[in-house]
Structure 1
Amino acid sequence: MIMTSYVEKHKDVIPQSVREIVTRRYHTVTKAGNRVFWNTESENSHSLYVGSYGRSTAVQTGDVDILYCLPESEFDRFQKASGNGQSRLLQALKEAIKNSYPTSDIRADGQVVKIQFSDGMKFEVLPAFHKIGYFGEEQSGFRYPDSNMGGNWKSTDPKAEQDAMKAKNKASNGLLQATCRHLRVVRNEHFSSLKLAGIVIDSFVYEAIGGWVYLEPGQHSESSAGDFEMKLNNYFKEHYLWSGSLYAPGSNQVVDLDTSRDALGKVLEYLVK
């Protein structure tokens, strides 16, 4: 349990033993896809952690998100497939993973393949393709399938988001990451019944943190305890209490704030109560 509502560091929220399980499963899922789609036995090529775990702001491993990149030839194949090619792609990735986890509950659901493990951990695997430029060159970002409403393709750029978060975390001397994790702890312990997406937390803190930083040992600040938390709360009220568009760091993609707005406001109010 947290002892104060003020932001504090949560370095070892996810135990090393749990991280090792995540890594082992990540390698198994990646290898399963590579065997089918790339004809290799690699355990780490063509995939990356995304979501809160990939941005290093997670405080628990109930859900782990992975982006798995397929060859461009597979995009052409499923794009030309009759019917819902996006749904067919999800099914193909599901079957590839099922070869390595035959007894696990594995389902294709909308945009991802979900793997429910017996210990409660859940992986969500997003199949994706590199964006391709006019002359056939790989570009930043990925295309991924959405099998809803007959099927379509959407775009994402998690690497740009991760790079932006990493840079600002370094510039803030770790305050960005600590704040994002702390808000998750408050959410989990006091507002678990409300929906508050991790990307909403990270995008808001990235924007609202401004020039605040953790001081080095021996440095002094004119700010008082609680000033930073009050600044975050006031920023939310000024910019997002009733409306306003939130954008993901680095990628600048629109983040759905509407479904998380109330919960974010309550978490921020808790910091200053």
Structure 2
Amino acid sequence: MGTYDNFNLLVHNARTQNHALVSERYERITRRLNLDFRGLDSTSRYSRYVGSYGRGTAIKGFSDVDMLIELPYDTYVRYNNYLGNGQSALLQEVRASIKTTYTNTDIGGDGQVIVVNFSDGMTFEVVPAFINKGGESYTYPDSNYGGTWKVTYPILEINAINELNNKYNKNVKKLVRIMKAWRNQNNVPISGMLLETLVMNFLDGYEHKDRTYGFYDWMTRDFLKYLSERNPDQSFWNARGSGDQVYRKGKFEYKARQGYLKSIEAIENDKKYPSIAYQTWRDIFGNYYPS
């Protein structure tokens, strides 16, 4: 197969699976919380996917599904007036509600979300939140350090990546997904949100942003070069849409440089030594690259 077919399959292989199972669990959690907090029997209202699953950038093998459940304003008033950490008490009420549906499932929290740990390794992270005026942001509880309220902008972030993805021939999400495959294969210390942010920043200034799979070997090479040239002393970047600070997890520049050099090797060997080129791409992307 040629470059077009190989990278077409790479993108396909990186796509998420288990959609039916994710949807079934999402709907059960949504229904339970709507019943308990609103008296409403609905599996879809007042909830949304957020995080990488909501932005359409999760890849096969993902383990975490982030979802936001919008609770009624009077619930916020009640816990805002709570004596002592009302945020923690709210999270505990949400946890107890979900527990009535998933009685035998490990359900905990990390200070801001309820974590539902399913026995097959899938984890749902549920954010209880209250929609703010204008409908573009949500207030959510943080039980750490005595309890505070924080604000998140998932809709703006979803809209930003969708808009740019449509503008650049769907290449934003495709490039993010295959670079997550590279990250996973090579244990690169970079979060999905930062990878998404840097892909969007890169494509904004990339003259070949609209090209198709036949150009993805060069696009991979050029993005890895871009990634390797980031300032290792820069601690955060601003997320697209929300402007929130996205912090680095570690130094990713060296591994990006290694990937860049390997991509050059693969491209140079593509015609004369296709088997060597194939193995080099497998080194970069692992089993996501077609066999």
**Is the contact made by 2:108 and 2:115 (CA closer than 8 Å) also made in structure 1?**
yes
Of residues 216, 228, 236 in structure 1, which corresponds to 2:227? 236
Paired AA for residue 91 in structure 2: L
Paired AA for residue 242 in structure 1: D
Q: Which residues in structure 2 correspond to 1:12-161 (within 5 Å)? A: 12-14=13-15, 16=17, 18-60=18-60, 61-132=62-133, 138-161=134-157
Paired AA for residue 263 in structure 1: F
TM-score norm. by structure 2 comes to: 0.80
Q: Give the C-alpha shift of residue 85 in structure 1.
A: 0.7
Paired AA for residue 175 in structure 2: T
2:166 matched residue in structure 1: 170
Return the alpha-carbon distance in structure 2 between the equivalents of residues 252 and 231 of structure 1.
Answer: 25
Q: Give the C-alpha shift of residue 238 in structure 1.
A: 4.5
**Is the contact made by 2:16 and 2:59 (CA closer than 8 Å) also made in structure 1?**
no
Runs of 4+ in 1 over 4 A off after TM superposition: 6-9, 224-227
Q: Give the C-alpha shift of residue 24 in structure 1.
A: 0.3
Q: Give the C-alpha shift of residue 245 in structure 1.
A: 3.5
Q: Give the C-alpha shift of residue 86 in structure 1.
A: 0.7
Return the alpha-carbon distance in structure 2 between the equivalents of residues 144 and 117 of structure 1.
Answer: 24
Distance 1:225-1:27 versus aligned 2 partners, 3 A rule = closer
Paired AA for residue 242 in structure 2: S
Paired AA for residue 247 in structure 1: N
**Is the contact made by 1:169 and 1:177 (CA closer than 8 Å) also made in structure 2?**
yes
String of CA shifts for 1:205-253, please: whole Å, max 9, x gaps: 1111124424369xx9xxx775433432443354433216311111111
Return the alpha-carbon distance in structure 2 between the equivalents of residues 231 and 14 of structure 1.
Answer: 22
Same amino acid, percent of matched pairs: 32
Structure showing the higher helix proportion among its residues: 2
**Is the contact made by 1:196 and 1:264 (CA closer than 8 Å) also made in structure 2?**
no
- Which protein has the larger Cα radius of gyration, Structure 1 or Structure 2? 2
Q: Give the C-alpha shift of residue 79 in structure 1.
A: 0.6
SS state of the match for residue 106, structure 1?
strand
**Is the contact made by 2:225 and 2:256 (CA closer than 8 Å) also made in structure 1?**
no
Return the alpha-carbon distance in structure 1 between the equivalents of residues 216 and 155 of structure 2.
Answer: 34
Return the alpha-carbon distance in structure 2 between the equivalents of residues 14 and 28 of structure 1.
Answer: 24
Paired AA for residue 90 in structure 1: L
String of CA shifts for 1:79-138, please: whole Å, max 9, x gaps: 110111111111011011111101000012210000011111111001111123xxxxx4
Structure 2 residue 201 is matched with structure 1 residue 200: no
Q: Give the C-alpha shift of residue 187 in structure 1.
A: 1.4
Return the alpha-carbon distance in structure 2 between the equivalents of residues 248 and 180 of structure 1.
Answer: 14
Distance 1:271-1:36 versus aligned 2 partners, 3 A rule = farther
Return the alpha-carbon distance in structure 1 between the equivalents of residues 245 and 7 of structure 2.
Answer: 26
Return the alpha-carbon distance in structure 2 between the equivalents of residues 239 and 118 of structure 1.
Answer: 39
TM-score norm. by structure 1 comes to: 0.85
**Is the contact made by 2:52 and 2:193 (CA closer than 8 Å) also made in structure 1?**
yes
**Is the contact made by 1:130 and 1:142 (CA closer than 8 Å) also made in structure 2?**
yes
Segments of structure 1 that go 5 or more residues without pairing to the other structure are 133-137
The range that moved more, 50-59 or 206-215, is 206-215
SS state of the match for residue 232, structure 1?
helix
Segments of structure 2 that go 5 or more residues without pairing to the other structure are 263-291
String of CA shifts for 1:32-58, please: whole Å, max 9, x gaps: 110111110100111111111111111
1:270 matched residue in structure 2: 259
Distance 1:88-1:182 versus aligned 2 partners, 3 A rule = same
**Is the contact made by 1:226 and 1:272 (CA closer than 8 Å) also made in structure 2?**
no
Q: Give the C-alpha shift of residue 140 in structure 1.
A: 1.4
